[in-house]
Structures are given as C-alpha cells and as structure tokens.
A and B are shown apart, each in its own frame.
Chain A
Amino acid sequence: MSEQPMTQQSSETTAAKPPIMSGVGLKQHYPVKQGFMKPPGLVKALDGVNFTVEAGKTLAVVGESGCGKSTLARLLTMIELPTDGELNFEGKNLLTLDRETRKELRQRIQIIFQNPYGSLNPRKKVGSILEEPLVINGKLTKAERKERALNLLQKVGLKPEHYDRYPHMFSGGQRQRIAIARGLMMNPKVVVADEPVSALDVSVQAQVLNLMMDLQQELDLAYVFISHDLSVVEHIADKVMVMYLGKVVEYGATEDIFTHPQHPYTRALLSSTPRIDPEHRIDKIRLTGELPSPLNPPSGCAFHGRCEFANERCKVETPVLKDQSGESSVACFGIDENRLPYINR
C-alpha cells in the first residue's frame, strides 16, 4: 500500500504516524537577467512540489541535473526561502514562524553534501568542524561539546584520536563519515543528503550507505535522499519522487516505482541505469535529446519533446499529478488515456 500525502484517503491511512516534515505547493522561481533592454526571464526551478517525510523513513528524490533536486535541498534546509508554498515541520509552517522559533526548529533539519573534499574546511581540525554547530547554536560547555563530538565520531565508525586531525588526513569515505557526524551534532530529526555517496568508490559507497541505514534505525532519522543513482535509491528509499524540470512526474512507494514504473520518464531513467545481471535489465527506452532549458520550458507536458508516446494533447496541456489505482501518483496523459503500451494491467 503506497502512501499519497496529498489525498484525503491517504492521510487517514497514515494517521498513525504524522509526517515529520511536508511541503505543500513549494515553488522557487528565480528571476534571470537576459541582457540589456530585454525583460528578465523566470526560471521555475521548483514549480509546485508536494511531499511528506516520515520519521525513520527515507524519501528519495531522483532526476537528471537541472530538475530541481538540489534547489529542493536548499529549501528544506532553509538556506533559501521559497517564493511560494508551505514547508511544515512537526505540524508548524516554518515560513510563517517568527525568527526565533524558526531558528530553533531549523536546527533539527541538517544537510550532508555531495563532495566531502569540498564540504570540510581544510584549515580546521575534525574536532572544531564537528563542534562548530554547537558553538553557534548550543549552550553546551567546551567539555560537553567535546564529549558529544567524540561520541559521534565513534558512532560513525571513526576513532577518538581522529578528533585532532585535519580533513586532508582522511580518505573520501572517512571524510563523508565526518560530514555525517557533523550533520548529526544538533540531534536532527530530518537529514537532507544531497548525493552523499556519488563521489565515493563502489566498495566505500556500500560502507557509507550501511552506516546511514544503521544511524537511521538507531536515531529514528528521516532522510531526504537526493540521488541520480537509481540502484542506490532502490536499496535505501521507502518512497521515491521522480522530478523533471521542477515538477514531480511520479511519486510513490519504492517497490511500486521500481516494479511498475508508470511515467515514461521514470521508465527511461530505470532502463538507462546499467545492471550487472542481464535479468535485471529492462528494454531500453531511448531518450532523445536532453533536458530542455528551464528558461523557456516546452509548453504542455515538459517531457513531451523527449517522449515517444507524446501526442497533440501533451504539447498543449500540462498534466497534473494524479493517483493511479492505489499505486504511485503520476502526471501523464498517456496513463489517463490508457495508451502506454508497457502498462497492461
């Protein structure tokens, strides 16, 4: 049974565990100067995104570069404020709260970045990197801070002696562990992980993913896991949100999405992911062309130019995300009109 946050029916089924964080109609539009005498353009990096995140669960956000994944990460952590929409955390809309409460709450949302070589300050020792969030936000004494840092170092599989070392003395995997420890210093409820393992080697990637899953269980963390690697997503996520050009095209439980991908784009993404086992491979859907410019997105369904099933309607009207018979919600006319050949249920 999948969970769709935006329908009444699903809010009843998930009533047992209210989402810890949710977004309603999130929009982020950037004005862009196009040149002298030209009117400024508008890039709709996010255009009406709804989602929910539950404690102890992982929501994966997938899509090609330029689809708005990282913008979403910046909004969730309030590095930027959205132009429109609601961002609820523990039932309160973060965007309408006063500064003090907002500051208090946003400490519970932390982020882990993609590249551990760029995200750790090379001039600071691991100890002060870890304690910095506490110095800024907390009221702990020096000794208490150190105790917490050592505690977390041990939790992420590093040793106490690493406390006094500099980032350059660590391998990529170890650095990502430090970045994870730093993200956990403030006792977050939600951790936004922006491509946390894509800079790591295969064998190290598995170590870090295992660590992240262990920590999730132990601390009941909610992850928003942003990734382009679908095989990783399939393993770690409970729910998947597939984005294309600032919009969600498919949203549902991981199993549904991976066993019955419905949107042609989801299917294309899945079939483009290389697989070792020939039995895991599905017929390749050839996507021609690339992601169109967000500055002047195509009319109608943004995907129609690359979609082999597109018809006239797709070029004119914009599909909205709709529930499909109890499984994932999909934004596609092809499904409404039942003309996608691979769906025969």
Chain B
Amino acid sequence: MTETDKSLLVVNNLSVAFGTKDNPFKAVDRVSFHVEQGEVLGIVGESGSGKSVSSLALMGLIDFPGRVTADELRFKTTDLQTLNEKARRKITGDEISMIFQDPMTSLNPSYTVGNQIMEAIEVHQGGSKKERQAKAIDLLRQVGIPAPESRINNYPHQLSGGMSQRVMIAMAIACDPKLLIADEPTTALDVTIQAQIIELLLKLQREKQMGLMLITHDLALVAEAADRVVVMYAGQIVETGPASDIFKAPKHPYTQALMNSLPESSEGKDRLNALPGVVPGANDRPQGCLLNPRCPYVTDRCRAEEPEQYGPRGRQVKCFYPLDEAGRPTV
C-alpha cells in the first residue's frame, strides 16, 4: 500500500530534535510513514527508538525546547504544520485522538470518569448536559463496561487498570475520530486484560473504519494485530512492510535480531539469541548505520556511511545488505 491523496495521515521526513542548535539530539530522525483509513499500522521498537516522540509530535504535544520539522505532515487535506494552536485543537481530540500507556495516571483523580468523558464531548460537540451524559453512558457501554449508568459516577481510583483503560478508550472515541493513536495501550495490563483491550480496540477500529496507529514494544502483539508494520531503531525507521511479510522474512538485521531474541523463537534451545549492547543514547550514536556496533553482519561500509531507505514502495529497508528470504545477509 502506498500513500495517496486519500491517505488519512501522511508523514514525510518528520524530525524531532532536542538540545541546543549547535548540538542537537534527534530523537526522531527523518521518519516517513502513512496511515490509511481502516487500517492498523503497528510501530515497534525498543525504548529510546522514538516511537512515542513521533506520536506526540503528530498530536502537537512537543513543547519547547523540542523542535519539530517535517517536509509534510498532512491529515486528510489539512496541513498540520501551518495550523495555529486553536485550529489544531479542533482536530486533536476530535478527529485525531490518542490513548496513553498508563491509564491510572492519565485520568484525573479528582473528577468522575463521566465528567471526564463529557468534557471531551462538550469541547468538540457541545449539546445539553443530559445529551452529553447519555452519550457518555453509551460510550462506556460500547467499551464493555458493565452497569455504565452507575460507573459514570465512579472516580478513577474505584476502577481497575483494565477498566481505566476502557474509560480512556471511551474518551478517545467520544468524538468518532478518524485516526486513533494508541501508545503502548496495554503495557501496564495483565495478559488476559491485554487480550480484551486489544480485541476491543480492533473491534472499534473495524466498526468505525478508523485508522489505528498501534505503538508498542511487543512484536508478537503487532504480529497479531497490525496490517502494516514500521520498525524503528534509535529514532529512525529501519524497515517497513506488511505485517505478514516482515514477520515471515525480516529484511533488516535489527528486525531479525529482535524476533530472534524473543523466547518464542528459541524453543528447545538453552540460550536465547540475545542482541548484544543497548540502543545508543543521546551522546553515543555511532557513525554510519546506527545499528553497526550491535549488528552481526557489520562491514566497514556500515561503519562509514549511513544507508538510505530503499526497496519497493511499501516494503522498504534501511540497510546496505538486506537479508534474503532465508534470513542470510546479502554481503
């Protein structure tokens, strides 16, 4: 799938830099992707790979001293970069909305959940208090909360983690968004609850034909839920493609290493295939390809030059020697 004028969201060369002008640290480095209506885009990477910062940049939530630059940042036909604060607020929370990782801290402890859901409706759609309340109850029912009429008067501390995340989802879909960004929506939850929440998200996504950006560090989750996948490493996209292709035959050594380091891939073996080292931080990003100190197939060229992203549209890889079908490097 490639981007078109009809794409829901088009991101072209998005960069987010922190630090001083002379010595900037690029938390996100020339990242391009797009989301279509009714599709689930999975963004995976370890901590420090820039996945959350990218989504915050899309929502306009990066404050000074962070600097966001992009060649194109388009939602439907609207250029997000030229919008002023007020116009932007009209879109975010309404047509684009976001679910954050930790539901316990994302909800305001001093207001009832009904109050918080109604606030979102009031800001974007208005209506009488009665209408808003009816809508909030309906939303809670949609996200599978039992007895919504009484739950609406609960405070966040009266809800469990899974329930709070359902409330967050209710809030996020309150205004029928076209694009939903879910940043690690299930990381703080138990596996059984995680399965429930993901199922709920996918059900809502299908029913409402939303574009869903699912940001997570959990490869297996993305493998099960996403249509297309973007793999990020140290602020850059290293591989993109349909989920089925990527997890069947990863082309980038990093994707391969991540998959191999999962216990699932080491069945019957004593040791896991660990990738040595850690994601480089602000001050120790290497020359050339950012993966080169950790890559098992590194060459001198990788240490000197940075590879460009290339490949057919929709299946790109940022590596000089992408892996073949059997997972061997093409050095």
Contact = CB atoms under 8 A, between A and B. Distances in A.
A280 interface: yes
B191 A207 contact: no
Contact of A203 (B195, B218, B224, B274): B274
Interface in B4-60: 46-47
Contacts of A187: none
A268 B192 contact: yes
Interface in B264-313: 264-267, 270-276, 278-279
B282 to A, nearest CB: 13
Interface in A261-306: 268-269, 271-277, 280-281, 284, 286-287, 290-291
Contact of A210 (B193, B224, B262, B272): B272
Contact of B272 (A65, A171, A201, A209): A209
Given A173-B278, A272-B192, A206 B218 contact: no
A105 interface: no
Contacts of B47: 201
A205 interface: yes
A113 B262 CA distance: 21
Summarize B's interface: helix, strand, loop or mixed.
helix
Nearest to B191: A272
Contact of A287 (B163, B192, B265): B192
A276 B263 contact: no
A231 B191 CA distance: 11
Say which size band chain B's interface belongs to: 35 or more
A228 interface: yes
Contact of A231 (B262, B271, B278): B262
A231 B261 CA distance: 11
A213 interface: yes
A331 interface: no
Given A201-B47, A228-B190, A272-B195, A277 B278 contact: no
B272 A235 contact: yes
Interface in B159-202: 160-163, 190-196, 199
Nearest to B44: A202
Contacts of B321: none
B257 interface: yes
A206 B273 contact: yes
A205 B272 CA distance: 10
Contacts of B264: 231, 234, 275-277, 280
A75 interface: no
A287 B275 contact: no
Contacts of B261: 202-203, 205-206
B194 A272 contact: yes
A203 B49 CA distance: 13
Given A202-B46, A203-B257, A275-B223, A209 B191 contact: no
Contact of B223 (A201, A209, A274): A274
A199 to B, nearest CB: 10
Given A213-B270, A231-B263, A276-B259, A206 B224 contact: no
A207 B223 contact: no
B155 interface: no
B223 A204 contact: no
A43 interface: no
B217 interface: yes
A261 to B, nearest CB: 14
A193 interface: no
Contacts of B191: 64, 228-230, 269, 272-273
Nearest to B195: A272
B259 A201 contact: no
Nearest to B162: A290
B196 A287 contact: yes
A14 B190 CA distance: 34
A232 interface: yes
A203 B162 contact: no
B247 A206 contact: no
Interface string A178-217: 0000000000000000000000011111110110010000
Nearest to B263: A235
B224 A281 contact: yes
Contact of B263 (A173, A232, A287): A232
Interface of B: 46-47, 160-163, 190-196, 199, 217-221, 223-225, 247, 257-259, 261-267, 270-276, 278-279
Given A272-B194, A276-B247, 18 more contacts: A64-B191, A202-B261, A203-B46, A203-B258, A203-B274, A203-B278, A213-B270, A269-B191, A273-B191, A274-B220, A274-B221, A274-B223, A274-B225, A275-B224, A275-B264, A286-B195, A286-B196, A287-B195
5 contacts: A201-B47, A201-B279, A272-B191, A272-B195, A290-B163
- Across the A-B interface, give the 4 residue pairs with the lowest CB-CB distance, nearest first: A235-B263, A206-B274, A274-B220, A206-B261
